[in-house]
Structure 1
Amino acid sequence: MQRTPAYFSLLLATTLAALSANGLHAHEGHDHGPPLPAPMTSTLAPRVTAESAELELVAVLEDGKLTVYLDAFATNRPIEDAALQVESGAWQGKAIHDGDGVYRLDPGPLIEPGQHELIFTVESSTTGDLLLGALVVPDDPVADDLPADGSPAWYTSVPLLQGAVVLLALCCLALLLWRDQRDRRLSGKQSGAKTGPKGSAASITAATLPPALLAMTLLALDAADPVRAHEGHDHGAPDPAVDQVPAAASAAGQAAARLPDGTLFVPKPNQRLLGIRTARAEPGEWPDTFTLSGHVIPDPNASALVQAPLRGRIELPQDGLPLLGASIREGQVLAYLVPILDAVDRTDLQAEVAELDGRIENLARNLIRLRQLGDNAPRQELEETETEHASLTARRRAIADSFGARVPLTAAVGGVLALRNASPGQIVAGGETLFTVVDPQRLLVEALLYDTDHATHFTSASATTTEGRILRLTPLGRGYELRGHALPIQFRIEPDPADEAPDGVQPPDQLVVRQPLTVVATMFHGSTGLRIPSAAVQRGPDGAELVWVHVQPEHFRPQRVQVRALGAGDSVVTAGLAAGDRVVSDGAALLGQVR
């Protein structure tokens, strides 16, 4: 009768053993076992970084090669024509240029674990420098603890196994309890059947043996499971050779990642793919500016509209209708217009023609009669009859020609065809614009100024297209009548003097009429600040303005700033940056997408 408590005792022991089989956990901040090896997906390839006033260098030991990335310190532009030599103790090697500022060489003894002091000698057409760094090559702490394929042991990598063992133990106990109850019922029905203490002991032994084996199995699994500490703590000796980054920076560290503090880790290969370039924040006193919304307009002295003088039908000229962008000569016939008359107008004209025919015929008879009289005919009457006959004949001819005569539509100026709203057979109304001809070399910019106090307080201006192209502008004049509560101001687009656009200035012949622009006008007075490229200023998730500061060769820090426009391509930082900071000028928007 004491077997049931024994079963429950065994059940409790089995459950406790199963619960403890998940490994011993130290409380937060402690780990009493040896340190675990760093996960292979969170370690960077061994690397060394070095900087000088002119150069920035990153050397990575990967794939049995020492790969060196050499860039200009100020601009992050790859150095292409350098001669690079690496020394470590008695060993030295010469790197081979592999394009895009990448140099490779055989690492020699540098693949051995330990710390290697390196000396990089760089000579190029523009600079020469000596850079120092230490390359730390770690041991492989994971190889001894993992199977040949690199995966953990099956009994520690499958947590569900322990749950299955517990379930099996519970099933065995339930089966033994059911058999015990059945035996007790059968023993009560059989007369003379006695169950002695030995039978009970044997039954208990038989019942306790399977759970005991299960408990020992779980304890054996528990002994094989490593001791773990809570996150963030480890009493084992740290490995200084392991550089930890988020799991996204896997393998040889060729993936960009956002670190917990908000900074970015961007390896040099990724920087080349993204085209990352930097510029220094330049201190100084810069003129104040204000921004206007503008658009491109044609020069009224070098553009023309071709409109229909009356209602009619479009007919093709001899060379066909010109295509958009085609060169147009002054006086060129662009199309013909055949006038169209309604029924009432046509009837009136026909009646007028009939009346004119009758009058012309009467005048012709009078002329014949007067001429037959010779010198006896009154001279004045003869001349009046001849004049009236000629006038009516010309009038009749003009009316008759209006029925089917074609009106040529010609260009008033030369240029290119910017707009065409005509097709063969199209019926157009009088005054409808059919063609627009402009001279692409003589375009203007018009902007609307809502603060009229600034109308006479600016000296120069520049404009930026939506693609970031820059235009130099010269003020031409301003209106003296408000248009929608704003004062229109017009600027002339200045072409690049050498037509080479060394500073990114956009030639005017690549613009189109009504193209939107952002106009920045420069005022007389100014203030101090740090000049940076406008492309470096981005919007953060909260809408605040920020720039990416290049703090280390492969690390970038987001920095909130206060900025104002300086010109079409520059801005002035009034707070948030220090003089000389390197900000990302090209590729800043792509850095903001790193997760």
Structure 2
Amino acid sequence: MTSTFSVSLVARCGLALWLSLPLLALAHGGEDHSHDEPKTAAPAAKAAPAAPAGAASLEASARLPDGSLFVPKHVQRLLALRTQPASLAALGASAELNGRVVVEPGSGGRIQATQPGTVVPAGKAFPVLGQKVRKGEVVAWLRPSAGALERGDRLAQQAEVGAQVALAERRAARLEQLEGSIPAKEIEAARLELQALRKRQAVLAASLDAPQALAAPVDGVISAVEVVAGQVVDAQALLFEVVDPTRLAVEAPVYDLTLPARMVSAEGSAGGATLKLQPAGAGRLLREQALPMRFRVLDATAPLAVGQPVKVVLRTRGEAPGAALPAAALVRDGNGQPIVWVHSDPERFEPRRVRHEALGADSVAVREGLKAGERVVTSGAALLSQVR
């Protein structure tokens, strides 16, 4: 039984091998097996490293040899660049002045010592910066200080006046006893003389050690405190300064004497805020070869401080062609020349030197350097100038 199974298994394997020979011949058909030596396999080419997933984000901006900039689109979005087409039109002429915030007459005042003395607070402490005060409110007391000789003279005057008062009282008493036998006018004169001497005695006593009230000259806030408790000050020493923040002005020097007559309106810029200004006149006395010109600040809530610099823009009569742009579009190149960036191609920006004038507190008029329709960068121009 075992031998019969072995013969059958061998027969089946031989049949399977015979059926597979045509398939092997077909699989190796057309191959050259005439050479004896095996063919050496060519070395596999070194695979190039795969690009990172964010390769597009690594693309950087660059400054080209002609001075223009190559800025990819994704970088433009990161810098939040904004452009607008240049539109040429007739724009009014203007002039720019450098001014500063000053106190308008009648809206501020100083509290000074009228004589040497010691300053003491009116309450528990001196007023602090920013504290509101009313006109006539006592903020401190000045206790006069006198030297030994001056104090001795005043005490001698008091003693002399005291003796005169005693004599006048006795004289008036004697005359009153003789009333009816002497003229009434003599009795009245004695009484008036006695009253005058008593008032003089009271004034001398009060002037020796009586403190002097230091009151606020105007309504406003305390803007300067130049004294501490117990400080001894001289006459005319500045102790406090009061300013009304709702009534401030701007003063600017004018070097063109005809400018005040040609002015139409005025605007100001300080601390990033635009101020509405009203001309308040110009002086006729040169100060450092310029005329001082004043402007009232119409916005009473503007955050201003005395002495703060203000850029004043005056609009004058006359017109000239130009393109109106935001002031943020104007930047400086490496030589300090004013330029704007023109978006010439989708990813290219060109610098243009321009001649400009102030059009308002936050706008400029480009007179030369731009053509109509050119797209100018109005937001992010300062960031473009930092590309190297």
Q: TM-score, normalised on structure 1?
A: 0.53
Preserved CA contact (<8 Å) 1:282 1:532: no
Q: Which residue of 2 aligns with 1:512?
A: 305
Q: Secondary structure at the match of 1:320?
A: coil
Q: Distance in 2 between matches of 1:432 and 1:593?
A: 52
Q: Which residue of 1 aligns with 2:331?
A: 538
Q: Which runs of 5+ in 2 are unaligned?
A: 1-44
Q: Distance in 2 between matches of 1:457 and 1:148?
A: 72
Q: Which residue of 2 aligns with 1:264?
A: 69
2:114 to 298, 309, 317: 309
Matches within 5 A, 1:202-281: 252-253=57-58, 255-267=60-72, 270-271=75-76, 274-281=79-86
Q: Secondary structure at the match of 1:549?
A: strand
Partner AA of 1:456 in structure 2: A
1:378–1:280 CA distance, 2 compared to 1 (3 A): same
Q: Which residue of 1 aligns with 2:283?
A: 479
Partner AA of 2:228 in structure 1: S
Preserved CA contact (<8 Å) 1:291 1:519: yes
1:453–1:342 CA distance, 2 compared to 1 (3 A): same
Q: Which residue of 2 aligns with 1:294?
A: 99
Preserved CA contact (<8 Å) 2:267 2:361: yes
What's the offset of the Cα at 1:359? 1.3
Preserved CA contact (<8 Å) 1:520 1:567: yes
Q: Does 1:589 align with 2:373?
A: no
Partner AA of 2:159 in structure 1: A
What's the offset of the Cα at 1:272? 5.4
Q: Which residue of 2 aligns with 1:489?
A: 293
Q: Which residue of 2 aligns with 1:103?
A: none
Q: Distance in 2 between matches of 1:590 and 1:309?
A: 57
1:359 to 140, 145, 164: 164
Number of aligned pairs? Answer: 342
1:408 to 210, 213, 225: 213
What's the offset of the Cα at 1:295? 1.3
Preserved CA contact (<8 Å) 2:138 2:213: yes
Partner AA of 2:225 in structure 1: R
What's the offset of the Cα at 1:452? 0.5
Q: Distance in 2 between matches of 1:419 and 1:583?
A: 47
Identity %: 39
1:554–1:400 CA distance, 2 compared to 1 (3 A): farther
Deviations 1:463-485 (A, max 9, x none): 222x4432222222122222232
What's the offset of the Cα at 1:456? 0.3
What's the offset of the Cα at 1:558? 1.8
Matches within 5 A, 1:7-86: none
1:455–1:314 CA distance, 2 compared to 1 (3 A): same
Preserved CA contact (<8 Å) 1:280 1:532: no
1:268–1:387 CA distance, 2 compared to 1 (3 A): farther
Q: Does 1:332 align with 2:137?
A: yes
Preserved CA contact (<8 Å) 2:57 2:74: no
1:549 to 312, 326, 342: 342
Q: Distance in 1 between matches of 2:77 and 2:215?
A: 55
Name which structure has the greater RCO, CA cutoff 8 Å, separation 6+.
Answer: 2
Deviations 1:221-263 (A, max 9, x none): xxxxxxxxxxxxxxxxxxxxxxxxxxxx976236443334433
Q: Distance in 2 between matches of 1:402 and 1:546?
A: 71
Deviations 1:571-595 (A, max 9, x none): 1112221223332333322322222
RMSD: 2.6
Q: Which residue of 1 aligns with 2:191?
A: 386
Q: Which residue of 2 aligns with 1:569?
A: 362
What's the offset of the Cα at 1:271? 4.6
Q: Which residue of 2 aligns with 1:193?
A: none
Q: Distance in 2 between matches of 1:579 and 1:560?
A: 15
Partner AA of 1:444 in structure 2: A
Partner AA of 2:119 in structure 1: I
Q: Distance in 2 between matches of 1:329 and 1:274?
A: 51
Preserved CA contact (<8 Å) 1:561 1:575: yes
Q: Distance in 2 between matches of 1:254 and 1:417?
A: 58
Preserved CA contact (<8 Å) 1:307 1:431: yes
Q: Secondary structure at the match of 1:252?
A: helix
Preserved CA contact (<8 Å) 2:112 2:239: yes
Q: Which residue of 2 aligns with 1:105?
A: none
Deviations 1:157-202 (A, max 9, x none): xxxxxxxxxxxxxxxxxxxxxxxxxxxxxxxxxxxxxxxxxxxxxx
Q: Distance in 2 between matches of 1:421 and 1:571?
A: 43
Q: Does 1:558 align with 2:363?
A: no
1:433 to 225, 230, 238: 238
Q: Distance in 2 between matches of 1:494 and 1:275?
A: 35
What's the offset of the Cα at 1:148? 6.4
Q: Distance in 2 between matches of 1:297 and 1:516?
A: 10
Higher mean C-alpha displacement, 352-361 vs 472-481: 472-481
Q: Which residue of 2 aligns with 1:123?
A: none
Q: TM-score, normalised on structure 2?
A: 0.79
Q: Which runs of 5+ in 1 are unaligned?
A: 1-143, 151-248, 496-506
2:147 to 334, 342, 345: 342
What's the offset of the Cα at 1:335? 1.3
Q: Does 1:421 align with 2:226?
A: yes
Q: Distance in 2 between matches of 1:535 and 1:338?
A: 57
What's the offset of the Cα at 1:450? 1.3
Q: Secondary structure at the match of 2:252?
A: strand
